[in-house]
């Protein structure tokens, strides 16, 4: 028997138009999704929501959520992080296919808004697009910046910092004061790395070092904050979170700090060159990583020119990794 028009609004009748509406929306979403993917043969994918995609499925802990999804759908997943398509490899074999067998297809890095802005448009090594510059910087890291001879030249830094720690612990023991060995060892690691990078202790208490730690911590906050512009297409040009202003403010602080550091280092290098033949000249001084970057910047015959922005972006990544070391230790301790 036909359903009367008035029955559509009864509890029993509402199910029919609701079912038609849901069916219609599902069909539209299916067609739109198929058009966007171009009919590609994609890996299995769980059901995703419009606009948000599979983002809600990754809460609260993404690595655990991916494990659950892989158990249900297989080791290779197609996910939409809002408007961003991605492939998740959730087993050793799948990871090997992505990272080794088909490496060339996955070489480009994502370009989050905060990282892209803070690294001067991807001028660092970690987030630069795959190409001549990336290959040049990889070779420079292997043969110059992180080469064995560079580490050997800076071996005195490791010896000095270890001696400094042992003396400090001995003084504390003589006074009967307890020593937080875990924190002391983390401080040792941070100071060694920081001195090798830019001849400055990470745990120093002078104003410049405190400013450096503060600015790097701010960069970690803005790069670690979920940004709607990166994942939800409708917000791409709309800074609803106000995060863009924070990113710009942090970038200005970091740029001013690095300009001060680079200007001071540039002046020191000029002075060393002028007094190269004197008894206390700079020729015998071990170069840190910042010095090596300056050498590459000043080398007119270099395979690839290294700009001042390249140096700043590279230093940002190194300092950010150093901060991550301390944050990870703090989390592990708690």
Q: Where are the domains of the chain?
A: 37-106, 132-333
pLDDT of 175 > 90? The answer is yes
Question: Using a CB cutoff of 8 Å and minimum separation of 24, what contacts does 173-180 make?
Answer: none
- Confidence at residue 24, expressed as pLDDT on a 0 to 100 scale: 56
pLDDT of 332 > 60? The answer is no
Q: Is the dihedral of CA 274, 191, 166, 172 positive or negative?
A: positive
Q: Residue 150: which H helix or E strand, with range? A: helix 148-153
Proportion of the chain above pLDDT 90, given as a percent: 52
- Confidence at residue 301, expressed as pLDDT on a 0 to 100 scale: 86
Question: Using a CB cutoff of 8 Å and minimum separation of 24, what contacts does 289-295 make?
Answer: 289/145, 289/150, 289/196, 289/197, 289/198, 289/318, 290/197, 290/198, 290/199, 290/261, 290/265, 290/315, 291/265, 292/144, 292/145, 292/150, 293/145, 294/265, 294/266, 294/269
CA angle 18/24/30 to nearest 5° reads 135
Listed range (5-19, 108-122, 151-165, 218-232) with the worst mean pLDDT:
5-19
Per-residue pLDDT reduced to its tens digit, 20-65: 555 555 555 555 555 555 567 889 999 998 889 999 999 889 999 9
Instruction: Rounding to the nearest 10 degrees, give the CA dihedral for residues 103, 108, 110, 114.
Output: 140
pLDDT confidence tier of residue 109, bands split at 50, 70 and 90: confident
Distance CA(28)–CA(14), nearest Å, equals 21
Per-residue pLDDT reduced to its tens digit, 88-108: 999 999 999 998 998 888 888
Main-chain phi, psi angles of 54, to 5 degrees: -100, 10
Q: Which CATH superfamily is domain 132-333 in?
A: Cytochrome P450 (1.10.630.10)
pLDDT confidence tier of residue 205, bands split at 50, 70 and 90: confident
Per-residue pLDDT reduced to its tens digit, 247-258: 999 999 999 999
């Amino acid at each position: 028997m036909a359903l009367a028009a008035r029955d559509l609004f009864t509890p029993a009748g509402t199910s029919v138009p609701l079912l038609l509406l849901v069916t219609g929306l599902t069909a539209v979403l299916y067609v739109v999704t198929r058009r966007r993917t171009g009919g590609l043969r994609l890996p299995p994918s769980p059901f995703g929501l419009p606009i948000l995609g599979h983002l809600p499925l990754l809460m609260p802990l993404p690595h655990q959520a991916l494990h659950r999804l892989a158990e249900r759908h297989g080791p290779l997943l197609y996910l939409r992080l809002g408007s961003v398509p991605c492939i998740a490899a959730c087993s050793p074999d799948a990871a090997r296919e992505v990272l080794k067998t088909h490496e060339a297809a996955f070489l480009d890095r994502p370009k989050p808004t905060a990282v892209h802005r803070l690294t001067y448009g991807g001028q660092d090594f970690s987030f630069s697009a795959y190409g001549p510059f990336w290959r040049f910087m990889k070779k420079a890291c292997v043969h110059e910046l992180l080469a064995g001879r560079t580490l050997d030249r800076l071996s005195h830094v490791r010896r000095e910092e270890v001696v400094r720690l042992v003396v400090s612990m001995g003084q504390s023991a003589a006074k009967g004061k307890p020593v937080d060995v875990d924190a002391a060892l983390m401080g040792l690691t941070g100071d060694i790395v920081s001195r090798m990078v830019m001849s400055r202790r990470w745990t120093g208490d002078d104003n410049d070092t405190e400013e450096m730690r503060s600015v790097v911590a701010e960069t970690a906050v803005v790069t670690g904050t979920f940004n709607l512009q990166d994942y939800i297409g409708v917000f791409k040009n709309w800074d609803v979170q106000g995060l863009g202003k924070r990113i710009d403010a942090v970038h200005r602080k970091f740029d001013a700090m690095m300009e001060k550091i680079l200007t001071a280092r540039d002046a020191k290098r000029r002075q060393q060159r002028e007094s190269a033949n004197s008894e206390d000249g700079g020729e015998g001084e071990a170069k840190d990583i910042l010095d090596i970057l300056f050498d590459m910047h000043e080398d007119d015959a270099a395979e690839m020119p290294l700009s001042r922005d390249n140096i700043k972006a590279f230093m940002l990544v190194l300092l950010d990794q150093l901060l991550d070391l301390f944050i990870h230790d703090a989390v592990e301790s708690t």
